[in-house]
Chains A and B, each alone.
Chain A
Amino acid sequence: KQEVTQIPAALSVPEGENLVLNCSFTDSAIYNLQWFRQDPGKGLTSLLLIQSSQREQTSGRLNASLDKSSGRSTLYIAASQPGDSATYLCAVPGTSYDKVIFGPGTSLSVIP
């Protein structure tokens, strides 16, 4: 059974810092991994989708890497801004193609 964990559960940093969020999964036979952002009271917004054949994806100040062999993905946020404050979740497909397992999320607070 696929299990997904995220460390840390919460993170508070001053504005301008570079930071790394971690996502770990137990079953490395995944097709892809997706990072989402969720603002309080809002839905999930997709940030990056990494296919299993890729090692990383970049979008603006965000860079996500995927290491299937070690069961890990990292989301790197460069030059953090207060607007980056949100909860970040990673998600991987489960053993069935039509089910996705979500991590519990990392709550990020960027202090001005």
Chain B
Amino acid sequence: DAGITQSPRHKVTETGTPVTLRCHQTENHRYMYWYRQDPGHGLRLIHYSYGVKDTDKGEVSDGYSVSRSKTEDFLLTLESATSSQTSVYFCAISEGTTQANYGYTFGSGTRLTVV
């Protein structure tokens, strides 16, 4: 989607290896999010960021870490990939105050397969 890009688009990796997914935005939005989408589970929040170096856990954060050293980049790392982390990963951005969310914009997703 315009203003937000994810890389890579597809990746196959082996069990036990570290993997880093990148989300890059050009909108200067404050909030960035990582979701995973799985059949039967819908979209689940992994981690989110509310500013540079400010991050927090979502509902399915085990096995994942994130970093945000610049406003425009939000990295998701699978520290030691497992087959259960095979999924489609989406990054989203939003801009809003502490009292309101002005809606989300999503990236196109990264399809990760752990073999």
Q: Is the CB of B31 within 8 A of A91?
A: no
Interface size on B, residues (CB 8 A): 25
Main SS class of interface, A: strand
Say how far A75's CB is from chain B's closest CB, in angstroms: 15
Q: Is the CB of A46 within 8 A of B48?
A: no
- Chain B residues in 8 Å Cβ range of A99: 45, 48, 58
Q: Is the CB of A32 within 8 A of B106?
A: no
Q: Is the CB of A46 within 8 A of B109?
A: no
A44 sits at the interface (CB 8 A): yes
A interface with B by C-beta (< 8 Å): 31-32, 34, 36, 42-46, 49, 51, 89, 91, 93, 97-100, 102-105
B interface with A by C-beta (< 8 Å): 1, 31, 33, 42-43, 45, 48, 50, 56, 58, 90, 92, 96, 98-109
